[in-house]
């Protein structure tokens, strides 16, 4: 199995085996557009479920209770505050964390007393805090500010490094794709959006960007001598770059997803560490869709943008014309002479001499 994967990876890197990702880009764009429409629809009609850090509310923490049972706290507040739906999780190993909407001050004290009696502890073991909506709004504004600054820096750095604003635009489009998808899933499942979730959203942008830059770097390498050969079009060399980095993208994603999966499914669901769910879900979804977007969205979109350039258009037309005439192996030497020889996938020029044409002496 390991040998088969190695052989498969070598074939992809050499160009012996390729998947037509770029050629079928309209299919991937349609699939992504459908997903984005569904996610935006969820955000518009269902909306997100902001946590009390954004809406304001009351938080309790019961330390060292006699019994670690979240149902006890739920029963307490179903009687004390039936209008609120509390979120109760096990914090740490034994503590109980309760979060619910804003309560009048006297009701907050009653809740502390009721929790202490229900869990068999003293009132000193029950701490509480009230969070105002103003503080939550400030966190939201800071998160948006951080996102805008991050995107501006990304656009500037990519434009300078690749010397092509179209790559920066495609990378930003892929980031937006990943963010909308992840937030849409949050709206679908009704998970609370907490500061930890916001940190997760920002983290996946960095991960998605890393995977995209790896592919773009290979595209840049493959197309560096684009106009000195007429065997491959820009789209074909970009597609080769996707295939050459495909194994690396898969391996990186698997390694990154293993600890996140452990946090999400083992820590949160089996061990009950609910405080980790917010950031783990954002990371899990973001890493999955980030791998997809770097292969099926970012590079095909960059090819679509570059396809409108006059230089790329003319080169593509010339390659197709030569291919039609059976002379698609033409390259230009450093001294400007025409020579026939295949341009290898890595960008090496061929050395086969130009054959004599019929009808010529």
Please report where in the chains the tokens 């977007």 appear, as a residue.
293
Q: Nearest 5°: phi and psi at 340?
A: -95, 130
What's the chain's average pLDDT? Answer: 80
Query: Would you state the pLDDT for residue 293?
Result: 92
What does the block give as tokens for 231? Answer: 């065997």
Pairing assessment for the beta strands 49-50 and 192-193 based on DSSP bridges: parallel
Q: What is the mean pLDDT of residues 70-93?
A: 80
CA distances from 353 to 330, 331, 332, 337 (A): 10, 11, 12, 11
pLDDT at 172 over 60: yes
> Percentage of the chain with pLDDT > 70?
84
Confidence (pLDDT) at 88? 82
Query: Could you tell me which residue, 305 or 78, shows the higher pLDDT?
Result: 305
CA 244-284-73 angle, to 5 degrees, is 175
Give the CA radius of gyration of the chain. Answer: 28
Q: What's the pLDDT at 351?
A: 38
> How far apart, in whole angstroms, are the C-alpha atoms of residue 186 and residue 38?
13
Rounded to an integer, the average pLDDT of 218-247 is: 89
Instruction: Name the pLDDT band for 66 (thresholds 50, 70, 90).
Output: confident
pLDDT in tens, 179-209: 899 899 888 887 778 777 888 888 888 888 8
- The CATH 3.30.70.600 domain(s) of the chain lie at 57-131
**What is the structure's pLDDT at 268?**
59
- 349 pLDDT above the threshold of 50: no
Mean pLDDT computed over 64-90: 82
Residue with tokens 């479920």: 49
The CA distance from 297 to 33, in Å, is 10
* pLDDT beyond 80 at 133: no
Q: What is the DSSP string of 16-31?
A: SS---TTTTHHHHHHH
In this structure, whether the domain defined by 57-131 belongs to CATH 3.40.50.620 is answered with: no
Which band of pLDDT confidence, cut at 50, 70 and 90, is reported for residue 10?
confident
For the whole model, what pTM was predicted? 0.75
pLDDT at residue 205, as a whole number:
81
- Kindly indicate the confidence band of residue 21, based on its pLDDT and cuts at 50, 70 and 90: very high
Query: Residue 34: what pLDDT?
Result: 95
pLDDT at 78: 84
DSSP state of 353: P
Q: Which of 99-103, 229-233, 298-302 reaches the highest mean pLDDT?
A: 298-302
Whether the per-residue pLDDT at 348 is higher than 50: the answer is no
Nearest to 119 by CA among 88, 96, 150: 96
Residue 331 has pLDDT above 60, yes or no: no
**pLDDT of res. 92:** 64
Task: Please report, for residues 59, 282, 327, the alpha-carbon distance to residue 136 in angstroms, rounded to integers and kept in the order given.
Answer: 14, 20, 66
Domain(s) of CATH 1.20.1640.10: residues in the chain: 2-50+135-306
b/e per residue, 278-301, with b = 16+ CB within 10 A?
Answer: bbbbbbbbbbbbbbbbbbbbbbbb
pLDDT at 202: 81
- Average the pLDDT over each of 32-41, 155-164, 242-251 and give the range with the smallest value: 155-164
In angstroms, the CA 89 to CA 70 distance is: 6
- Contact criterion met (CB below 8 Å) for 322 and 330: yes
Q: Quick one: pLDDT band at residue 136, thresholds 50, 70, 90?
A: low
Greater pLDDT, 188 or 68: 188
Q: Indicate the pLDDT class of residue 338, thresholds 50, 70 and 90.
A: very low
Own/partner contacts of 153-159, CB < 8 Å, gap of 24 or more, are 154/209, 158/213, 158/216
Domain 2-50+135-306 superfamily per CATH: Multidrug efflux transporter AcrB transmembrane domain (1.20.1640.10)
Q: Measured between alpha carbons, how far is 207 from 191 in angstroms, rounded to an integer? A: 22
């Amino acid at each position: 199995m390991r040998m088969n994967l190695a052989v498969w990876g070598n074939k992809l890197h050499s160009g012996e085996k390729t998947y037509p990702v770029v050629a079928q880009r309209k299919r991937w764009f349609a699939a992504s557009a459908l997903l984005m429409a569904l996610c935006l629809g969820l955000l518009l009609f269902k909306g997100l479920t902001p946590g009390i850090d954004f809406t304001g509310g009351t938080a309790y923490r019961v330390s060292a209770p006699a019994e670690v049972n979240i149902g006890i706290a739920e029963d307490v507040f179903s009687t004390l505050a039936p209008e609120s739906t509390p979120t109760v999780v096990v914090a740490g190993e034994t503590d109980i964390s309760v979060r619910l909407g804003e309560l009048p001050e006297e009701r907050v004290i009653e809740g502390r007393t009721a929790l202490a009696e229900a869990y068999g502890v003293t009132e000193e073991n029950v701490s509480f805090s009230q969070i105002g909506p103003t503080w939550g709004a400030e966190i939201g504004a800071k998160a948006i500010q951080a996102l805008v600054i991050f995107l501006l820096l990304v656009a500037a750095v990519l434009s300078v490094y690749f010397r092509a604003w179209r790559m920066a635009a495609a990378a930003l489009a892929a980031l937006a794709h990943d963010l909308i998808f992840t937030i849409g899933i949050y709206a679908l499942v009704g998970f609370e959006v907490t500061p930890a979730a916001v940190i997760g959203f920002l983290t996946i942008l960095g991960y998605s960007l890393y995977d995209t830059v790896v592919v773009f770097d290979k595209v840049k390498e493959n197309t560096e001598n684009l106009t000195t050969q007429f065997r491959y079009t820009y789209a074909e060399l970009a597609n080769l770059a996707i295939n050459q980095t495909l194994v690396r993208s898969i391996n990186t994603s698997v390694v990154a997803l293993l600890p996140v999966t452990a946090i999400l499914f083992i820590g949160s669901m089996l061990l009950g560490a609910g405080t980790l769910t917010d950031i783990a879900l954002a990371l899990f979804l973001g890493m999955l869709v980030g791998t997809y977007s770097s292969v099926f969205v970012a590079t095909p979109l960059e090819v679509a943008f570059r396809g409108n350039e006059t230089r790329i258009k003319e080169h593509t037309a010339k390659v197709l014309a030569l291919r039609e005439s059976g002379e698609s192996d033409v390259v230009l030497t450093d001294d400007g002479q025409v020579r026939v020889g295949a341009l290898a996938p890595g960008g090496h020029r061929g050395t086969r001499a130009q054959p004599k044409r019929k009808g010529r002496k």
